[in-house]
């Protein structure tokens, strides 16, 4: 049954429930991530009926070009957003790090779920079992399609060579294991853990070796901004600490105007009601970098009773259940840290990185 933009279903007992259609990319990891969100919603709202709609995106189709060269900010999200716009789906599950810091009008991130380990992981070729990046032989080739990872690791491990590797997780692991092109590859720990491939992680890179990407390890639910009922439904999935960390990270990136095509890295922490943000920018070879840390108090205190304005978005995120004042602090923290780096010459480093990358 269709009624207005909504779809309903009647079960054998004549009970009617609304069908919520969930959009996802077709990759195995995307499906696992989407299923995990769908299961949480089903537990919280036993009466809704969820339907999963899988589709391919530009990023899934162009597999022979480095992501940073394609030059499109919404590689993995455009087709899903089109479906959302056409009312073919009601919500879409993304890796937050795939979502641009400015969303197209009419969309918002209605939930940011509790973050999985946000760090990067080293996955070794079976012949290198037991080694670390430090102990791999001179000129070993490391596969990564991320300028951010390559820039940090080139500086930290100058004896290694870094080459592009594309494809989804399954494809990359296959390329690593079945050929001898790579001694190791670098992947997000979160994805490996969600796929159940934790045993392949031989080393987790700590922030001093490699800081992570903005939003890495967190899942986001994107909805139509005008869909108050869906927004309300998914808002229960928000994890407050993750939301604040990711608002700060996204505000930092947006202020720097960074995207896939520049090496920008972050590290955040919530400790004793303080939100800490470390942010850095790098030249492509990592030889030139700027890195600073700032913190802000996020104790809600007396502010939490204030009315939250439903429609406020911060760097694409709508979090009605978290006090406005605290979200503002998180956003300001990101902007202020970016401004500090910009005052020290971050713009120049990123402009050169962008030009060099475009010329590759």
Active site residues: 98
Under DSSP, is residue 355 helix (H, G, I), strand (E, B) or coil?
helix
Which residue stretches of 140-286 are H helix?
147-156, 169-178, 189-194, 228-235, 240-256
DSSP string, 9-71: EE-TTS-EEEEEEEEEESSHHHHHHHHHHHHHHHHH-TT-EEEEEEE--HHHH--SS-HHHH-
Strand-pairing partners, residue 356, are: none
Phi and psi at 113, nearest 5°, equal -80, 165
Joined tokens for residue 344: 């020290």
Distances, alpha carbon 137 to alpha carbons 134, 145, 345, in Å: 8, 21, 35
DSSP 103: P
162 by Cβ neighbours in 10 Å (0-12 / 13-18 / 19+) ranks as: buried
Q: How far apart are the first and last CA of the chain?
A: 53
């Amino acid at each position: 049954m269709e009624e207005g933009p909504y779809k309903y279903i009647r079960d054998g007992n004549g009970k009617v429930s609304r069908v919520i259609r969930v959009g996802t990319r077709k990759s195995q990891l995307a499906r696992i991530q989407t299923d995990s969100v769908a299961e949480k919603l089903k537990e919280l709202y036993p009466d809704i009926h969820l339907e999963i709609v899988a589709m391919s995106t530009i990023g899934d189709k162009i597999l022979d070009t480095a992501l940073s060269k394609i030059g499109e900010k919404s590689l993995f999200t455009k087709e899903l957003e089109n479906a959302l716009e056409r009312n073919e789906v009601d919500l879409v599950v993304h890796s937050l790090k795939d979502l641009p810091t400015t969303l197209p009008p009419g969309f918002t991130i209605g939930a940011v779920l509790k973050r999985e380990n946000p760090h990067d992981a080293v996955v070794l070729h079976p012949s290198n079992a037991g080694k670390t990046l430090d102990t791999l032989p001179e000129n070993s080739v490391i596969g990564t399609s991320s300028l951010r990872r390559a820039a940090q690791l080139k500086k930290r491990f100058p004896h290694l060579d870094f080459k592009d590797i594309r494809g989804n997780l399954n494809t990359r692991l296959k390329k690593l294991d079945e050929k001898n092109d790579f001694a190791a590859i670098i992947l997000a720990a979160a994805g490996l853990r969600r796929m159940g491939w934790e045993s392949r992680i031989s080393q987790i890179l700590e922030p001093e070796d490699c800081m992570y990407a903005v939003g890495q390890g967190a899942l986001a639910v994107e909805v139509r901004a005008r869909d108050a009922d869906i927004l309300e439904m998914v808002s229960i999935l928000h994890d407050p600490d993750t939301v604040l960390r990711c608002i700060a990270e996204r505000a930092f990136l947006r202020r720097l105007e960074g995207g896939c095509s520049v090496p920008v890295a972050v590290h955040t922490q919530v400790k004793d009601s303080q939100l800490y943000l470390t942010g850095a920018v790098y030249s492509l070879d990592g030889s030139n970098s700027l890195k600073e840390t700032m913190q802000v108090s996020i104790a809600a205190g007396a502010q939490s009773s204030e009315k939250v304005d439903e429609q406020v978005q911060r760097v694409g995120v709508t979090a009605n259940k978290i006090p406005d004042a605290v979200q503002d602090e998180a956003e300001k923290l990101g902007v202020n840290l970016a401004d500090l780096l910009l005052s020290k010459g971050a713009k120049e480093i990123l402009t050169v990185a962008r030009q060099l990358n475009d010329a590759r």
